[in-house]
Chains A and B, each alone.
Chain A
Amino acid sequence: MSHKTIEQFSEEAKILIADYVTRVDDLKAKERTKIPAQEMPAQDPSIRVNNLDEVALGYTMEQARIEAMRCLQCVKKNCVDDCPVKIDIPRFIDHVAHSDFEGAAGVIKEASLLPAICGRVCPQEVQCQQSCTVGKALKDVDKAVAIGRLERFVADWERMTGRISIPEIKPETGKKVAVVGSGPAGLVVAADCRRQGHHVTIFEAFHKLGGVLRYGIPEFRLPNDIIDREIETLSAMGVEIKTNFVVGKTRKLMDLINKDGYDAIFLGTGAGLPVFMNIEGENLVGVFSANEYLTRANLMRAFEKGKADTPIYPSKKIAVLGGGNVAMDAARMAKRLGAEKVYVVYRRTEVEMPARKEEVMHAKEEGIEFLFLQNAKRILGDEKGKVNGIECLRYELGEPDSSGRRRPVELANSEFILDVDTVIVAIGNSSNPLISQSNPEINVNKWGNIIVDENQKTSMEKIFAGGDIVLGAATVILAMGEGRRAADSINKLLSS
């Protein structure tokens, strides 16, 4: 497949749009479903594997308008039902179709605080786009209206034209809210509580804000500039920020209330502790959790060789174990850091893979090799304790398991050896133990996730929680949704 440049996409779209633009309001449903779905322009794969710039380049203005015209403006809004924060999708898309991007931004902002981020990283094909009428009519979810890309377009347009406005802040209430963790859940709580006039402090363990948005998801998928802008907005709103501050260690959780006068606390501490497979050889030199690998590369900037002090393991042949977004990010980062061969080893097939489709497609274009229906049995090492291969097993799909996915069953005597020098384990995270360790009175489930009620309240007075620490490893938009609900509860509590 030859690579299409953004200029080519732009030319095509300009020709197409001439035909529709005069009849925006009169297009019949049939005509709309015939409008070609707009593809996302991207950097040429052979070039992008050598840089960290964003892969997806974003729709051109004409592309956005054409894509928006594909929306049928359904009365029964399936798409909205499947968006965790209930953005009024047809309404914002209608504004895009009419070139009113400012209006579109206004609609999105009613429901979502971080559209530039969600438009980029939401797994749209299993959320808003999953039951889109257009996709259903064309019997292909990939042909659904590209809601996420349109959302991203609108957010980028707003950012690029410098139109981001600082939300209005109600008069100071004198009440104080502590937000623990600066991932998407915490950022939303900070904004929503500050808007009500409360004093808000974000406490973050790391030296930089953003949580997984910063240290997990790489620059080539979510540029740091975008996170920085969101944080600037928070600062401009008067949110106080304390980095290098581990709640539960630097200060006890209850001291924030009892000594420092906070009236409510939100815990958005995220997933933690990477899960390992418990197989032989997992502690050999050259075996990393995806968290460690990506943190070294992203947060500690190990990709900027010569500048960063934090080293990253020099790998030639890497196997990434797992099939989610984390695995894709680790694999694609490894390629950019110079690995010659990168394998993704996954127990099931491509259909069951939880990663976003676009990431899988991009990974393939970048030369990542997928080994489906295979899994590591043990990791092999040389006499110096360094990885020099993994022994894998082949699988087939059997009966569906409790998750509804067909269970992989190993094939007897199917062992073979994969020649690699590095193994990155990306099979999930359990919960961050810091808070529950130092506050045994907080109720957690057997995986260590904090238990909350329907208002995101924990078993402790004045303490709320949300995001991955409650859901287990989930998604950005779900974390934000929980943050929004928690902020509502906190605002209610503080106004009573």
Chain B
Amino acid sequence: MNKILFKKQLSKDVYLMRIAAPMIAEERAAGQFIILQVDDDYGERIPLTIADADIKEGSITIIYQVVGKSTHALSKMKVGDALPALVGPLGTATHIENFGTVVCVGGGIGVAPLHPIAQALKNAGNKVIIIIGARNKELIILEEEMKTIADELIICTDDGSYGRIGLVTEPLKEVCEREEKPNMVIAIGPPLMMKFCSETTRPFGVFTQVSLNTIMVDGTGMCGGCRVNVGNQVKFVCVDGPEFDGHKVDFDNMINRLNSYKEIERDVHNCYLDALVDEKESKI
């Protein structure tokens, strides 16, 4: 059983939790994820990146956005509650070395998984340029943490409520155009954002790593549900990834597959929300 040790709401739909998981804290490396369930009979197995870990406390940190039933149920859990199932660390760790100058681009909730990677790249001696994007000011997370790592921090919002107005691809392009071209880019966020970041860097020939968030079931290479086309080869995100060369990923196919259950999930989610509303009303 993995107890929730700490919980904090970061923005409207985004929560941070520290969860007791001493072994995972010890073994994990930047780029890896866990799979958890809020119910081990009927719950879905949801993958979440390990945003941080504290070996002393024996805890890992997750940061997640409420998008459906399971993440909503998770957000309702309290400090002291225990998760019935949590497994990890899964996936392969990010390859960290001193590349020279790296650009870390985080979109929305993608800033959470980006944080440990940026930290590790900084520790390895890289010059780290960080670009954070979000729909509006409310949705920006981990700004302070990123500030302490970044040699240069650029923030953009879609509506201009904070930082620059526009998408992360604009500053990314500008950085690529600089005389001192970056040696590597790492982009994590919604699939569309990662696709366009990859398109932005392609003409400059800058290696661009992305972290794919496909649908998963087991997370150990058994079901094939997480498969993606990378350079015309089938790869399994849970064991071969989650990080891949963004210039080789077939994003359109990935996005299609990610939406496989969209309609059903929406129904389930709505039923679930209706039930919650009913419950509330019946209490009044």
Contacts and interface: CB of A to CB of B under 8 A. Distances in A.
Interface string A291-313: 11001100011001001111101
B169 to A, nearest CB: 24
Nearest to A430: B221
Chain B contact residues, majority secondary structure: mixed
B89 A249 contact: yes
A272 B239 CA distance: 11
B213 to A, nearest CB: 16
Given A285-B256, A292-B223, A308 B239 contact: no
Contact of B220 (A283, A307, A432): A432
B221 A272 contact: yes
Contacts of A434: 220-221, 239
Given A206-B218, A292-B223, 9 more contacts: A207-B85, A250-B88, A251-B27, A274-B223, A278-B234, A283-B229, A283-B234, A295-B217, A301-B41
A106 interface: no
Contact of B224 (A207, A274, A384): A274
B151 interface: no
Given A206-B218, A283-B229, A311-B265, A289 B43 contact: no
Interface string B226-252: 011100001010010000000000101
B65 interface: no
Contacts of A286: 260
Give the most central of B88, B221, B250: most A CB within 10 Å: B221
A300 B43 CA distance: 7
A95 B243 CA distance: 60
B224 to A, nearest CB: 4
A300 B217 contact: yes
A366 B67 CA distance: 39
A208 B259 CA distance: 28
Contact of B256 (A245, A250, A291, A385): A385
17 contacts: A243-B85, A246-B87, A246-B220, A251-B23, A273-B236, A276-B224, A276-B234, A283-B227, A283-B228, A283-B229, A288-B224, A289-B225, A291-B224, A309-B70, A310-B44, A311-B265, A385-B256
Contacts of B227: 276, 283
B253 to A, nearest CB: 5
B3 to A, nearest CB: 14
Contacts of B37: 207
A51 interface: no
Contacts of A311: 261, 264-265, 268
A276 B90 CA distance: 23
A221 B17 CA distance: 41
Nearest to B226: A292
Contacts of B260: 285-286, 313
A360 B283 CA distance: 53
A301 B42 contact: yes
A437 interface: yes
Given A272-B222, A285-B256, A434-B220, A207 B40 contact: yes
Interface string B126-160: 00000000000000000000000000000000000
B87 A295 contact: no
A249 B70 contact: no
A244 interface: yes
A447 to B, nearest CB: 14
A495 B242 CA distance: 44
Contacts of B259: 285
Given A249-B27, A285-B256, A309-B268, A295 B218 contact: yes
B42 A307 contact: yes
Contacts of B224: 273-274, 276, 288-289, 291-292
Contacts of B24: 250
A294 to B, nearest CB: 9
A238 interface: no
A135 interface: no
A296 B236 CA distance: 18
Given A207-B84, A283-B227, A384-B256, A272 B220 contact: yes
A251 B85 CA distance: 17
Interface of B: 23-24, 27, 37, 39-45, 69-70, 84-90, 217-218, 220-225, 227-229, 234, 236, 239, 250, 252-253, 256-257, 259-261, 264-265, 268
B220 A385 contact: no
Nearest to B2: A244
A346 B207 CA distance: 44
Contact of B44 (A252, A288, A309): A309
Contact of B257 (A243, A283, A295): A283
Nearest to A244: B87
Interface string A72-114: 0000000000000000000000000000000000000000000
Nearest to B21: A250
A314 interface: yes
A309 to B, nearest CB: 4
A296 B261 CA distance: 13
A208 B43 CA distance: 13
A282 B52 CA distance: 36
Interface string A194-233: 0000000000011110000000000000000000000000
A433 interface: yes
A291 B43 contact: no
A62 to B, nearest CB: 39
B179 to A, nearest CB: 41
Contact of B45 (A249, A310, A385, A433): A310
Given A246-B87, A285-B257, A205 B218 contact: yes
A437 B42 CA distance: 31
A433 B221 contact: yes
Nearest to B234: A276
Contacts of A314: 264
Contacts of A291: 222-224
Interface string A433-451: 1100100000000000000
A244 B40 CA distance: 11
Contacts of B88: 246, 249-250
Contacts of A295: 217-218, 222-223
Given A300-B44, A300-B45, A309-B268, A292 B225 contact: yes
Contacts of B42: 301, 304, 307-309
Interface string A306-346: 01111101100000000000000000000000000000000
Contacts of A437: 239
